[in-house]
Structure 1
Amino acid sequence: MSEPHDSTPTGPRDARHAWARLRRAGSPRPSRSNLLAMLLALALGFAIIAQVRQTSLQGLETLREDELVRILSDVDQDGDQLSGEVRDLQSSLELLKSRTTGEQEAQRAAQERLDALGILAGTAPAKGPGILLRIEDPQRLVRQNLLLDAVQELRAAGAEAIQVGDVRVVASTWFADTEGGGISVSGSEVTPPYVIRAIGDPNTLAGAMQIPGGVTATARRVGAEASVDIRDEVEVDALLSVTTPQYARPVPTSTP
């Protein structure tokens, strides 16, 4: 009967083989399960890092999708409201500009109208191109009808402002002969030489004074001498004193 085999190392060589088997048994062996476990560990690490970053961020990144949609809608509504306010402010600005321009234009037109009425009424001085009619009458042969004819001819020729001597000629101006051989213009006596200033188209006014049988011809016929001087600027500075009506009152304008 044979004796059982004894596997216990009995020498140095057997001892070295035993230690090598132990090292191989303790070292990890590459297998599918080991690789899967490694991949899971890496994925878990990345997930933990991403979660840490996400939780550390503040603001919109922490909100849900529905909350982001609501915030975006609110922003759009605020933007529309601000755009509407901008349009309203721009409209108000344009209205103010147009109203200011309109008021300034109305004031300018009213001032021009007032100046024109002042010239026509004789309450404002005037200057412009025109003529200067000078009648020399040392013997005082000229009567009031000659000065009246001169004024009427000048008006018909388009004169816008007329002055006889130191008297402004307006619609109510009248002429009369005085007892001493002089001429009264609306109560103010004028003496030779008679000087008439008229503002208007110079050539037209001068032509009206020099027509055959007109003012200059009539002055020469009675023994006086008349001359017409065309000027680029004639100044009519005599003003009419406006008196307050004693009985007349303006009629109020009826509103529809």
Structure 2
Amino acid sequence: MLKLALVDLKCSIASWRLWTLLGWLEVRQRYARSRVGPFWLTISMGVMIASIGVVYGTLFGQKMSDYLPFLASSLVMWNAFAQMVQEGSVAYINSGTYIRQASTPKLIYQLQVIWRNLVVLAHNFVIVLVLLVLFGVKSWEVLPLFIPGLALFLLNALWIGMLAGLLSARFRDLPQIIAALIQVAFYITPIIYKPTSLNRYAFIVEWNPLAYLMEIVREPLIGQAPSALTWGVTAGMALVGWPIALAMTGRYLKRIPYWV
């Protein structure tokens, strides 16, 4: 089972021209004949960050030069994660026509989701860069840690999307459940508030794996080095999650065309 999934993954990665082209075309198609194009994503995200930043920054008594970069990096990365998981849950369903008609590696459709949302992330990340220029980079020493942090972030988003897509192809009510769970997770994960704000309810963050997934990419951007615990939890999530996702994919890979 695991061998079958690994072969499919290898063939999917080798077909990178296909899934990168399909992902890019989907982004372009959404904003066809628009003068601003995909940068509408950046504009809408910028407006949301500015609105939430002013309101919650004032309510929490935060210094804007610290809070806005924190909020921007949090919302931009959370939006990427949420979209990767939600779109991953319907990747096989939405590509059912291709799956039934052509013999292609199935994980191509999950890689397509990751690539498409990486393109969106690149557009939204402009906001983070602008705020870093305006308020200054807090620490050039820890900033490069964002790269390995982003790699762990994507690895975890991919295996979660793989499992969600496989189970959603079999159980069609699951995408709606996943969307609801992600919305709940948004409120219990430190995104618009800092982890230290919960005081006696800090256990909500300590036992929330998504909090560590956010910290691994956010902290280097705001001038803090992720703790050893953060690296350990996110790496552990990938080490545990990937074998499970691959084993499940290998077991049910041949059933996907019948499910979709």
TM-score (normalizing by structure 1)? 0.22
Higher relative contact order (CA 8 A, sep 6+): 2
TM-score (normalizing by structure 2)? 0.22
User: Hey, which of these two has a bigger chunk of helix by percent?
Assistant: 2
Q: Name the larger-Rg structure.
A: 1
